[in-house]
Every structure is written in C-alpha cells, then in structure tokens.
Structure 1
Amino acid sequence: MLRVLLFFAFLIAVAFADAWFADKPGEILVNWQGYHIKTSLAVGVGVVLSVAFLLVAAWALIRFVFKIPAGVSLSSQMRRRNKGFAALSRGLIAVNAGDAAVARASAVEAQKHLRHEPLALLLKAQAAQLANNQTEAEDAFKAMTHRSDMKLIGLRGLHAEAHRRGDVEDAHEFAAAAHDIARLPWTSQALMQRQTAKGDWRSALRALDNDAASKKTNRTTQERQRAVLETAIALEKSETSPDEALNLVRSALKREPNFVPALALAARLMNRKGETRKASKLIETAWPAAPHPDLANAYLEPRSGDSPADLLVKAQTLARLAPRDPESLMMIARTAIAAGNFKAARDAMQPLIEGPSKPTIRMCHIMADLEEAEHGSAGYVREWLARGARAPHDPVWVADGLASDHWLPASPVTGKLDAFVWQRPIERLRPDSGTEDAVFAPLASPEPRLQLEEAKGKVAGATQGEPPAPPSQSASTSPAGSEPGAADRTIPHPVIFPLPGAPDDPGLDERSASRGAPPAL
C-alpha cells in the first residue's frame, strides 16, 4: 500500500514539473568555440539528464569489468566454503554414528577447505579419537590451545587424553591451566578430584567453597559433596577428636538428612558419649527412608547390661518402622537367633525365603545359622550354605567396578568424590549352565564355578565331615563385574567430544570397567 502511494506521489510531482515548465517557457543559448546552440528549456534539461544517465552507465560498466576477477575469486571461495561445511556436517554425523572412516575422510576435506574454521579442528580431534589415534588427537588439541577462541576446549581435550593414558600429573596441570582461564564446573571438579584422590579432604572442601562462590555449579550437587567431605573428615577425626567429628557429621546430616554413612557414624559417636537415646532416635527417624545394615549395627550396639533379649526388643522396635523391608526382617532374625527365640527368627525369615525373589547370600547364611543353633543339623546347614554359594549377592558399596563392605568417600580408581553407591554387584548367567540348574554366578567371586560344583557335590553325596565354611560376602574391596582375561582385551577409546556422559566425566569409567579393577584395598 505504501509503495502505491509513493508511486502516485511521484506521478503527481512529474505532472506538476511538466505543467510548471509549460507555463514558463524559456530558451537556452550556448556559444562555445564558434558553435551556437539554441534550444528550449525542456530539451536542454532532457539532454543534461541523458548525458548524466550515460555517464553513470559507463561508470557502472567500467566497475563491473574491473570487478570480474574479484567476483570469480569470491565465487570460488564460496564454493570451497560450501564444500567445507558440507564435509563438516558429514564428519560430525559420522562421529556420532561411530563411522571412523567417513569421519576421518570428512575431517581431511574440512581441513582442506576450512583451514581457519574452529569446527574443522574439532572434527579432526573427534575423528582421531574415534580411530583410537591418540597422538593425532593430542596434536589437534594442542593446536586448539594456540587459538584464543579454542584454548579451553583444547585444554579439556588434553586433560581427558592425559587421564586416558594414565598420566595424572599432566591431567592435573591441564585442568589447573584451564581453571586459571575460567572457573568452569569441570575444572573445579578436576582439581577437587585430584585432592580427593590424595585423601586431602580439607583442601577439597576449601576448593568446593571457592567453587560455590562462582555460582556455576548446581547448589544441590555442592551441598551433597560438602556433606560427603564433612563425613570423610569426621571419619578421620572419630578416634582422635570425637567431639569435632560429631559436629562435622551433624553438619553433614543437615545437608543430607538420609546420608547413611553420616547417620551410622553419628550414632556410633553418640553411643560412645552415652547419648544412646539421641542415637536411637536419629536412626529411628531415618530408618523408614534408608534401611541399611550399617544403621542396624549402630542401633543394636550393646550397652553394658543389655542381654540378647533386650537387643531383640530393640530390633523389633526399629523393624516396626519398615516392617516389610528385608533389612528389618534380617535384623530381627539375627537378634532372635542370638536370643534363642527361634520361632521369631523363622517368622521373620519366612517371607524372604518363600517370596518371589531368590534368597540372597546373607539370607542363606542366616538360615544356616538358624538350623545349626536350633537343631544342630549338619545336613540342613550344608544345604543352606550350598544355596548361598549360588545365591545372588546382597547389596554392597560399589564404585568403578569395585565392591566394598565399607563406604569410602572417593573411588580408589579415579578419585571421584561420592562414587560409591549401595547396590548389588554385577552378576551374569553362566553360558554353559543347563536350564534346570542355571544360576547367577557373581562376577565378584574369584572362582564362582568351583564354589558351585563343590556345593552341589556336598549336597548330593556328602554324609561325613564338617560343614563347608560359608563363602565370604566380600570382606574387602573386590572387583565387581570383571571377567578373566578382561585386562588383556583392547577396547577403543570413546570419543570425548561430544561427551557421552556428564560434562565433567573424562571417560575413565568405561575404560576402567573394561580392563578390570585395580588391586583390592
């Protein structure tokens, strides 16, 4: 609509000018070099405009001719740029699809057409990682550190590659250099992980406080990590400075009310001070949300004058808060056996051994203790011990392929803080087992098949001798999920960018799980 109005305005202006010239005729006379030119005003104006138009057209033609080489060069550059970005797109798709050949070819083409493009250098590093070419990947990351716009990503890549080849010192230096440029969550976590790997919990706590001041890390995560570090310091102080340890663990519980290691430690410290009622109340409050054997042991710590029957009453009191949980039932059964109340023990264990799930190792051992205490029957004891040899594992503290009966603040493999999780170790179904006797053989056991065959032989034909000793339930930290010969396999390194896991994860979990766990603690 606006254009139409402008067009009509232009027509009106032209008509007005034409009428004005018609009403005021005149002549133009030019005498120059003996030439006499006489014409009307309208013709003179038309000649001037025509000459101006011709001059403008001639200038435009001259400019076009002189710009032809630059235009050809620009067109060639655009074609190369388009080819480079097409190769870049193919390469990024190939990297995420796991096609190393296409990724490498695309990286070479992208580098050819886009030499100064940051993404081309990043694709080169990704393709090298996918092809398990560590040298080329490190060269690409080093080239990134020479560019101001890619220095951080180059340092992060070098940090991950240093971890991959097991050079912890270099990894720490790269993380520290990146932290000096920008306090990012991954740099803070890397520095703190270095301190936790050395067991320097106070330095790690100071680093966490500095990281909290930058407000770049999730507050919930910071509170959880602070609770873990305070519990770790309290564990060290529990023998030498119990009051300081109790204050620390109380602070941890304010941040994480159901944190089992802090609850168990707080209860033990309160029991030592004679604050048994407070310790019992603390565990009773947490038991419905976090039933755990460590809490049960702390709750049932015997006081002077406590008889087995008194402990059974305490166990029944705590179990009422979570009556159907297996930990409550096993706690009652253990204390009932010690008190000689075998009926209460059987009533507690019946839902566990007759339920839809298979009894675990602890359940089988409790039943073996019950049969021995009540009847002294070696046959039933051997039967339950044999079932325990092929029973599923009970939950333990697991981190980075290690299973431990005791909670640790950080993983001994990677130094990662708060890595231990209460869960069952990885188990597998033996491939050579028949349908009728296929069992889950825990990988954490060093010789699961030998234990199973021995147990079957003893159940089938053993009539003399002592009952077999119960298998250890993981008395110390042991590999969980490793297979014989796993350390000899070569697993390609996963691509770091884009990261398949959390941004702060350098990718060690997959490698450590594939090559087996380090020696037991």
Structure 2
Amino acid sequence: MVRLVFFLVAALVIASGAAWLADHPGRVAIEVGDRLIEMRLGMLVLGIGAAALILAILIEIYRWISHAPRRYRGWRRRTRELKGWQELSMGLVAAAAGDPAGIRGHARQAQRLIPDNPAVRVLTAQTALLEGREDLAEAQYREMLDDPATELLAIRGLLTGSMRRQAYDEALGYLGMARRKHAAAPWVVQTSFDLFTRTNRWRDAITMLEDMQRLRMLEPPVLNRRRAVLSHMLAVDAVERDRLREAIREGRRACDLEPGFAPAALVTSDVARRLGKTSEARKILERAWGASPHPLVAKAYAALVPTETPAEKLSRCQRLLDLQPNHVEAHLSLAEQAMNAHDWDRARELLERALQLEPTSRVFRLMAEVERSTGMSGERIQEWLGRAVDAPPDPAWVDEETGAVLAQWQPFGPSGRFDTLRWTTPPKVTALAAPAEPPHTMLVLSESDRVHSPA
C-alpha cells in the first residue's frame, strides 16, 4: 500500500512538471569558451534526466562487479550449509534406523561442511554411542557443555551415560546441573525419580512423584502404587536399622495406599507383631487378603499365634475362606492347613472346590499329596501329577515388561526399571529371570523374622 501511494505521488509530480514545462516554453543558452549552445528548456531537463539514469546504471554495474566475489563466497557458503543440513538430516534418519555405518558417513560429511553447527556434535555423539565408543561420546558431550544452546542436551547425555555405567555418584552431580538448568522438564523429573530409586533415596523419589503428579506424567492409580512401594521400601530400611516404630508408620501408609500389595502387608504385620500389636497384625493381613489373596499372606496369618495346634490354626484360618469364599487361593491355603492338621476329608473337600473354581497346577499337586497321605494307589497319584503338568500355571511375580517370572518380589524388574512386578498368572511358556544380582535390596526379612509354615 505504501509503495502504491509513493508511485502515485511520484507520477503526479512528474506529470505536473511536464505540464509546467509545456505551459512555459523557453530557451536555454550555455556559453562554453567561444561556443554558444542553445536548446529548449524541455530538452535540457530531458538530457539531465537521461544523464542521471546512465550514471545510476553505471554505478550499479560497478557495484555488482565489485561485490561479485563476496556474493560468490556467500553463495558457496549457503550451498555448503544446505548440503551440510542434508547430510545432518540423513544422519539423523540413519540414527533412527540404527545404522552405525550410515551415521558415521553422514556425520563426517556434516562435520566437514558445517563444523560449527551444534547438531553435528549431537550426531557425532550418537554415532559413538551406537558404535560402543562411550569415551568419544562423553568427550563430545563435554565440548557441548560450553555452548548454551546445547548445554542441557550435553548434561542429559552425560547423565544418561553415567547411569548406564551405574556411576551413580557422578550421575547425581550431573542431575544437580540439570535441575538447576531446567528442573521442570519432564525428562529431568523422570531421570531424578529413576536415579533416586536406584540409589535407595526413597524419600527424594516420593518428592519426585509430586512433580510427576503436577506435570500429569502418570495416572493416579500408578502414582498411588508407586507411593505405596516407596513407603514399603522406607519400612524395609527402617526394619534393617531396627527402627520398628518408623517402620510400622511407613508400612501403614503403604497398606493404606495399596491394600492388596502383599509385600507391604507382610512386613507391616510382622513389625506390628514384634511390637506386640497382634490384633493390628491380624487386621493388616485380613485387609490385604480381602483385597488380593496371596499364599504368603495366608501363611503369615496362620503363623500369628505360634502356640496353636494345627487343628486350632485350621479353625482360625477359616476366616480367610469367609473373606474370599469364591477365590481359589482361599481354598488352597485352607486345604494346606487341613493337611497339616491331618484332616484329609476337609482337605479333599476344599481341593475339590478349588478344582471347580480354577484347576491350576498347584491344585493337582496338593490333590496328589492328599491321595498319597491317605494310602491311595500309585497310579492314582501319578494321574494327579500328570494333570498338574498340563494345568494352567499358578500366580507368580511376573515382570510386566519382559514376562519373566521371579521367585519373590523386588522393587526392580530384571530390566532394572522400578515397580514392574505384578502378582498374576504367567503365560504357559514363561521367560525365566536371569540369575543376576538384583539392582537393589529385595524384600527379605532376617532369618529369625521369616514366616515359616507349620510342619
């Protein structure tokens, strides 16, 4: 719009000037030495305009020629940058595809074409990681620390590398840098939680859950579950330090958050029993059983009164069946107590009901034991054992990421991630957890505090 107005004003001025010259004709005389040059006023004005136009053209030609080398250098620089960005893009595609050779080639070309671009260092670091050259990747990340544009990315790379090496003290230092730089970033919060749990800093991890809730990184059920597990680990630590009152306080919190979490119920009830709170220990186990029956909860419930006879335990454990009358675990646990009391008819009755509810492998094995104890033939016993082989598996601690089955609960799964074990029925063909050391302390009471089944 402004250009249009300027053009109209200029055209009006030129037209006005031409009209004035047409209305006022005249002649102009110029004396140069002995020569006298006469011409009309309009021709003089036209000549001056033509000379000015020619001079402007000549000046532009001179400027174009004098600036040509700089324009050529700029063109070459832009061409190199364009090719560099193309190489960088192809390198990132190769990184996503997991092609180390492709990344290496594209990264080398990008480094040659756009050496000062921070993204090239990132690509070079990724290449080194894919090739297993963590020292080179770390060197690249350290160089990136000096550039404000890549400082946070460099901290993340160094932090991830130190956690991968399990150099947790070093990782805590980088984590402090990341939190000072951008404490609210989701990856900083998640990494903080992972690092705090790996280093047994359970209270700090609970604080991170508050940030996760604020950022809506986890659903409310997952948040409650993790709070329960962290409170349980605080209780376990307190038991190891013989701080039983602190342990029961944290254990109660875990049981309130996740009543069906058997490990928390077992530790909390055991602490309550050791503090002389037998009634509370019983209520904790009954609440856990009502939420999610677990065989260890049934064994702990049976062991609450050590002075009872097997028959008395059987009578008291009837409460578990009353709480879960249609759950197979209630019938199996009570059948085991009946077997301990040598009440074979009651055991058989309970196992027959379990067969109707959910005929798992454990049901058939217990039935075979009842047959053996009551003097049945070997063929009958082998028949039950044979059916146990083909029966669905019993519930176990299953890693929800890998499907691996573990003998007991622990805060980390085989992959090292926090809280991935669930008490559930594994598939018929399961992956066995590697016999490696767990990344952190497992739920194991001292030998004197273990709950044993009565003989």
Indicate how the Cα distance of structure 1 residues 50 and 110 shifts in structure 2: closer, same or farther if over 3 A, else same: same
Which structure carries more helix by proportion?
2
What is residue 348 of structure 1 aligned with on the other side?
353
What is residue 246 of structure 1 aligned with on the other side?
248
What is residue 128 of structure 1 aligned with on the other side?
128
Query: In structure 2, how many angstroms separate the alpha carbons of the residues matched to 1:364 and 1:24?
Result: 124
Is 1:231 aligned to residue 232 of structure 2?
yes
Query: In structure 1, how many angstroms separate the alpha carbons of the residues matched to 2:141 and 2:395?
Result: 42
What is residue 263 of structure 2 aligned with on the other side?
261
What is residue 155 of structure 2 aligned with on the other side?
155
Query: In structure 1, how many angstroms separate the alpha carbons of the residues matched to 2:38 and 2:301?
Result: 123
Find the residue that maps to 1:346 and give its secondary structure.
helix
Gaps of 5+ in 2: 443-455
Query: In structure 1, how many angstroms separate the alpha carbons of the residues matched to 2:93 and 2:199?
Result: 40
**Paired letter, 1:330:** L
Query: In structure 2, how many angstroms separate the alpha carbons of the residues matched to 1:391 and 1:100?
Result: 47
**Paired letter, 2:235:** A
Find the residue that maps to 1:307 and give its secondary structure.
helix
What is residue 17 of structure 1 aligned with on the other side?
16
What is residue 86 of structure 1 aligned with on the other side?
86
How do 1:128-277 residues align onto structure 2 when only pairs under 5 Å count? 128-165=128-165, 167-183=167-183, 184-187=185-188, 190=191, 193-199=194-200, 203-206=201-204, 208-209=206-207, 212=210, 218=217, 220=220, 224-237=225-238, 240-256=242-258, 258-266=260-268, 272-275=277-280
Find the residue that maps to 1:275 and give its secondary structure.
helix
Find the residue that maps to 2:279 and give its secondary structure.
coil
Find the residue that maps to 1:422 and give its secondary structure.
strand
Query: In structure 1, how many angstroms separate the alpha carbons of the residues matched to 2:278 and 2:67?
Result: 92
Indicate how the Cα distance of structure 1 residues 67 and 363 shifts in structure 2: closer, same or farther if over 3 A, else same: farther
**Paired letter, 1:127:** T
108-117 vs 24-33, which deviates more?
24-33
Q: Is the 8 A contact 2:206 2:227 kept in 1?
A: yes
Query: In structure 2, how many angstroms separate the alpha carbons of the residues matched to 1:15 and 1:148?
Result: 56
Q: Is the 8 A contact 2:414 2:438 kept in 1?
A: no
Deviation at 1:166? 5.3
What is residue 322 of structure 2 aligned with on the other side?
317
Q: Is the 8 A contact 1:249 1:262 kept in 2?
A: yes
Query: In structure 2, how many angstroms separate the alpha carbons of the residues matched to 1:247 and 1:97?
Result: 50
Deviations 1:408-431 (A, max 9, x none): 3346985x5434443567875xxx
Deviations 1:72-107 (A, max 9, x none): 112212222222222222222222223222222111
Q: Percent of aligned positions with the same letter in both sequences?
A: 25
Is 1:107 aligned to residue 107 of structure 2?
yes
What is residue 451 of structure 1 aligned with on the other side?
none
Query: In structure 2, how many angstroms separate the alpha carbons of the residues matched to 1:353 and 1:193?
Result: 38
80-89 vs 124-133, which deviates more?
124-133
**Paired letter, 2:26:** E
**Paired letter, 1:82:** L
Gaps of 5+ in 1: 429-441, 445-479, 483-515
Deviation at 1:16? 5.5
What is residue 367 of structure 1 aligned with on the other side?
367
Q: Is the 8 A contact 1:427 1:443 kept in 2?
A: no
Is 1:518 aligned to residue 437 of structure 2?
yes
Query: In structure 2, how many angstroms separate the alpha carbons of the residues matched to 1:260 and 1:45?
Result: 104
**Paired letter, 1:229:** L
Query: In structure 2, how many angstroms separate the alpha carbons of the residues matched to 1:261 and 1:269?
Result: 12
TM-score, normalization by structure 1: 0.66
Query: In structure 1, how many angstroms separate the alpha carbons of the residues matched to 2:299 and 2:333?
Result: 9
**Paired letter, 1:228:** V
383-392 vs 91-100, which deviates more?
383-392
Q: Is the 8 A contact 2:196 2:205 kept in 1?
A: no
Deviation at 1:245? 3.1
Query: In structure 2, how many angstroms separate the alpha carbons of the residues matched to 1:134 and 1:243?
Result: 46
Query: In structure 1, how many angstroms separate the alpha carbons of the residues matched to 2:43 and 2:257?
Result: 94
Query: In structure 2, how many angstroms separate the alpha carbons of the residues matched to 1:264 and 1:154?
Result: 44
Query: In structure 2, how many angstroms separate the alpha carbons of the residues matched to 1:166 and 1:275?
Result: 41
**Paired letter, 2:128:** A
What is residue 55 of structure 1 aligned with on the other side?
55
- Of the two structures, which has the highest relative contact order with CA contacts closer than 8 Å and spacing of 6 or more? 1
**Paired letter, 1:247:** R
Deviations 1:339-383 (A, max 9, x none): 6213422322323675xxxx33x3343223332344455554455
Deviation at 1:115? 0.8
Indicate how the Cα distance of structure 1 residues 147 and 233 shifts in structure 2: closer, same or farther if over 3 A, else same: same
Query: In structure 2, how many angstroms separate the alpha carbons of the residues matched to 1:115 and 1:130?
Result: 21
**Paired letter, 2:155:** L
Deviations 1:54-87 (A, max 9, x none): 2222221111111211121122122222222222
**Paired letter, 2:254:** A
Query: In structure 1, how many angstroms separate the alpha carbons of the residues matched to 2:139 and 2:236?
Result: 44
**Paired letter, 2:437:** P
Query: In structure 1, how many angstroms separate the alpha carbons of the residues matched to 2:131 and 2:115?
Result: 21
Deviations 1:308-347 (A, max 9, x none): 4534532321223xx2x54344335434545621342232
